[in-house]
Chains A and B, each alone.
Chain A
Amino acid sequence: DAGVIQSPRHEVTEMGQEVTLRCKPISGHDYLFWYRQTMMRGLELLIYFNNNVPIDDSGMPEDRFSAKMPNASFSTLKIQPSEPRDSAVYFCASRQKDRGWRNGGELFFGEGSRLTVL
């Protein structure tokens, strides 16, 4: 089975440009998460969706960041305008629906999108 698919793998852009990162979760997974990884802050949860509905976006840094999930097989994370401090690796992850207390918490991560903003 295909895992979580992210694109692009690498993006280099100039400050002020719009960046769109894309994610295709594992088929049948009900939850989708966007994480950001930096050396300084580690893995940070930005936002997550349940059945395409945003549940918690408290980790989104500011209004320049937005995320959408128009259907169960696609999500985007957009940064507009981008800034050098947005440089990081952005991960998308998905998981199955909770099934009782032993619910796993088993996130499946994509390979990440490495963003460099000059």
Chain B
Amino acid sequence: GQQLNQSPQSMFIQEGEDVSMNCTSSSIFNTWLWYKQDPGEGPVLLIALYKAGELTSNGRLTAQFGITRKDSFLNISASIPSDVGIYFCAGQLRPNAGGTSYGKLTFGQGTILTVHP
């Protein structure tokens, strides 16, 4: 089945620094998503990317859908303590032509981010 390789596994940074993480896949995906999980909570969607080459921002977050459709990256600028958490990439295949099936969402292993004040 599809596998997503997410890196780095963990990051320890100082407040104010920029952060970059990425995901690569052996399969082509039609949608890339980035989620954040706070301690004791479920993952929450940060950014969704639907088109190869697409670059999308959400505040201090920027994500790109790779041209090959096999990779994506997420950047966080000027990190703050509340950015702490686990960040997951997820890839989804296009649903079938009937539009009634779900493209299965595959998650990366996550990047644990620690921000020191």
Residues of A with Cβ closer than 8 Å to B?
4, 31, 42-43, 45, 48, 50, 55-56, 91, 93, 95, 98, 100-112
Contact = CB atoms under 8 A, between A and B. Distances in A.
Contacts of B48: 104-106
A101 B61 CA distance: 24
B56 interface: no
A45 B104 contact: yes
A92 B4 CA distance: 21
Contact of B102 (A42, A91, A98, A112): A98
Contacts of B103: 103, 105
A21 B109 CA distance: 24
A43 B90 CA distance: 10
Given A42-B109, A91-B42, A101-B50, 9 more contacts: A42-B110, A43-B110, A50-B102, A93-B42, A100-B99, A101-B94, A103-B95, A105-B33, A105-B90
Given A91-B42, A102-B50, A106-B33, A45 B99 contact: no
A109 B43 contact: yes
B102 A106 contact: no
A48 B103 CA distance: 11
A100 B104 CA distance: 15
Contact of B45 (A4, A91, A100, A106): A106
B42 A43 contact: no
Contacts of B100: 50, 98
